Structure 1
């Protein structure tokens, strides 16, 4: 399958106009494609936006991701995330690690296992790396840099509880008799068998759960409010207001871009962009001008230094930035209309 044929198929797939024969041809290509070809297909699929169409179904994306996972498995413990992150990230990540040890008013308590009778294992991923593991039930987890997953050496007969700090992509083995529950900060995400991404860094102002396949229920443990999610949906929990809401995830692959050393945003509110940039670079980036809160950005970052990222954001939001301290950056200026 040539790149042109692949793109044509992806466009048809997104609108439900592909034929069974075309899908079969794509599946044959998928089984023998190289890692570079899979990366190109993911980029094509994730960037695909056709006016007037429904969001593309996530099953194809999940299939490409699974194949890419298998190809990259031997390199999962490589010292760097495919050498895409800037050298500055190593320094920034060390700073954020120090802040996590010191603590502070912006930080959530690290989730801890409620059942202390079980023997828990702890998988910690240092700065500048990603890593993967298989849980006792066969479920697979990929952890982003600076993340920790605590899980029992053996699950109980009725529950599968794990505890996440940071960000992780889960592909859960289906077992209706034993729900799988991810505890992350103030949220619990419960599934039977599905694939989804959880974003829950202690320094972040929001938590997110994005579903690729299957269905999950996300619950705020304090208020007990909950939302149900289906494929191509996400839940966002604002820590400042304790608001939990469900919304479409027009492009679910955007939430998984971190697995390829990227940050991607599509029509995202500025506070979400700044939140994830703050986590990536180990600094707090905040706004002082109310008009900036109206800005929404579509942008991709891959390997830029922090100054380069700030220049791009300032240009897109008609603002300027300055620092009050090595770990605090302010945006102010004209902002966006609307």
Structure 2
């Protein structure tokens, strides 16, 4: 019994990376000089039970792992390669230990954080991997506290500018409505305020893959390229910006409209200020070119009505242009 307890003690120290050189040598000698594989059964079983309480997937359990270890050990014993015998028993045991504990980690609930930006305000969020996300006004980002999966996945409602930390083996994925955007490390914007509005991805640096989860269409975008969903359309509307930085003018509290119809202007203003803006059918297709910076919603609407020779009325949080 005392001999078996020493097996267990040394195995525990080895797995905890707390084994001295002398203790490691002792462990090797105990394994090499064991008269048969069963001599180590009790020590390994004790350590297996201690390594985690969750069941492994696909019915993997100690009895099955034990049989595999014994087969490997008996094969090595017949070759009389004692060093390989000692190495393999530890390697197999370590794999079982890491596999069991990794499974417990993967199946553990992921802790998510949700952050919001207020109407008319932006908000900067720095994630655990060093990625920086700036939320446009009236937006929401949900993300895990720690990225411990094979991918880094976040969920966006609204609009945001992403500066993603490069990680070759851990792609960054943004879920925004029916659009999924995947990158390794780059800068781009994603706009997805409401299901009935166009969703957009615009790249400033690097390359991204954008997929429509409904139609399964996949496009790749590089600097200055933009993909937009259109209601009822099975394909993205692709376009190119002469100045990609215009897509993030909102970082400086700017609203830029270049020959933009009032229906689209109303959507952008409503998203930014968290308001409902209605445009009469007569005005919906009228276009304006203007830049607004640091102005209130009533101030912008006053300017628009002067440009279009129209008027507006307010009722609580609803504004009607006529």
TM-score category of the 2 structures, normalised to the smaller one:
0.5 to 0.7
TM normalised by structure 2 equals: 0.59
Tell me by how many angstroms 1:243 deviates.
Answer: 5.7
Change (3 A) 1:287 1:146: closer
Which blocks of at least 5 consecutive residues in structure 2 are unaligned? 1-106
1:206-248 residue CA offsets vs partner (Å, 9 max, x unmatched): 2221110011122221222233211012122235657631111
The answer on 1:312 being equivalent to 2:303 is yes
Q: Which has the larger radius of gyration?
A: 2
Superposed CA deviations along residues 243-275 of structure 1, whole A, max 9, x for unmatched, are 631111232222212222221222333332211
Residues 306/242 of structure 1: CA separation in 2 closer, same or farther (3 Å cut) = farther
Separation of aligned partners in 2, 1:312 and 1:285: 15
CA shift in 2, pair 1:226/1:165, >3 Å: same
2:197 is equivalent to residue 205 of structure 1? yes
SS of match in other structure, 2:271:
helix
2:312 is equivalent to residue 321 of structure 1: yes
Aligned residue in 1 for 2:188? 196
Counterpart Cα distance in 2 of 1:204 and 1:264: 22
- Within the candidate set 282, 291, 298, 1:300 is matched to 291
Contact 2:255–2:293 (8 Å) recurs in 1: yes
> How far apart in 2 are the matches of 1:158 and 1:246?
30
**Structure 1 residues 258 and 177: CA distance shift in structure 2, 3 A:** same
- SS state at 2:130 partner: coil
Q: What TM-score results when the alignment is normalised by the length of structure 1?
A: 0.57
Indicate if the aligned counterparts of 1:205 and 1:240 stay in contact, CA closer than 8 A.
Answer: no
* C-alpha RMSD of the superposition: 2.7
Which is helix-richer, 1 or 2? Answer: 2
Unaligned runs of 5+ in 1: 1-114, 333-338
Equivalences, count: 216
* 8 Å contact kept, 2:225–2:238: yes
Gap change, CA 1:226 and 1:296, over 3 Å in 2: farther
Query: CA 1:208 to 1:116, structure 2 compared with 1: closer, same or farther past 3 Å?
Result: farther
Corresponding residue for 1:276?
268
1:135 aligns with: 127
